[in-house]
Structure 1
Amino acid sequence: MNQITSIITSSAMSILVVLTGIVVQAIKKYLLMRGGKKAIEIVEILAKNAVNATEQVADKLDIHGKDKLEHAKTSLIEGLESQNIHLTNQELNTFIEAAVKKANDEWKK
């Protein structure tokens, strides 16, 4: 009888450990997904701010074309570093180009 109780107890503990591992993985995946969405929203806001700020100081700094892109990219990188977000150069360009397009579309309206 004691052996059966021992087997049942150890089996129940094993099942609980497996279930706990599954729940932890699900929670971790959910939090990463949620944090990823938040990070994208932060990047979009910072890219918009970097583009707008660059447009405002472009005449004073006498920068045009690629220099404006580099200035906006530098501003965006500084903002992202303060939020502990790191992107590739291509991703930075993509977010800046999207912010420029959105600003141009709003200006045309």
Structure 2
Amino acid sequence: MNQITDIIVTSAMGILTILAGIVVQEVKKYLLKKGGKKAVEIAEILAINAVKATEQVADKLDIHGDEKFYYAKNAVTKGLDQYNIHLTQSQLESFIEAAVKQMNDRWKE
């Protein structure tokens, strides 16, 4: 029974990873069309930096899981406000999820 559960969870995570990649690509296309290349680059950089920073301070702040996600999301939102870039919550979450995936992929290497 545990093996079946493991297979289902692994398959679901694979599917969600693929879907997250597709969503990020669509968000990028939309933002490029609407806000320009510079806005997308800034959002990507801010998301990557926020995820890295959150990982570095997570132990000190004793935050885990969803708390880390919201901490990073808040950091990205503040950064985007400085550049007067506004994203929907869905778009913002997509950039953060992509940064987390990129970080996890690099860690596995």
Normalised TM-score (structure 1): 0.68
Greater RCO, 1 or 2 (C-alpha within 8 Å, sep 6+): 2
Change in 2 beyond 3 A, CA 1:67/1:44: same
User: Are 1:72 and 2:75 matched, yes or no?
Assistant: no
**For residue 49 of structure 1, what is the aligned residue in structure 2?**
49
SS in 1 for 2:73: helix
- If you compute each CA radius of gyration, which structure gives the higher value, 1 or 2? 1
Identity of aligned residues (%): 64
**For residue 96 of structure 2, what is the aligned residue in structure 1?**
96
**For residue 60 of structure 1, what is the aligned residue in structure 2?**
60
Post-superposition shift, 1:73? 0.2
- Matched to 2:82, the amino acid is S
- Matched to 1:88, the amino acid is T
Between the aligned partners of 1:33 and 1:91, the Cα distance in structure 2 is 14
For these two proteins, the number of residue pairs brought into alignment is 78
Normalised TM-score (structure 2): 0.68
Q: Can you give the 5+ residue segments of structure 1 that lack an aligned partner in the other structure?
A: 1-31
Q: Can you give the 5+ residue segments of structure 2 that lack an aligned partner in the other structure?
A: 1-31
After superposition, give the CA deviation of every residue in 1:14-65 in whole Å (9 maximum; x if it has no partner). xxxxxxxxxxxxxxxxxx8596111101100000000000000000000001
| Structure 1 residue ranges, 4+ long, deviating more than 2 angstroms after superposition | 32-35
Between the aligned partners of 1:33 and 1:107, the Cα distance in structure 2 is 32
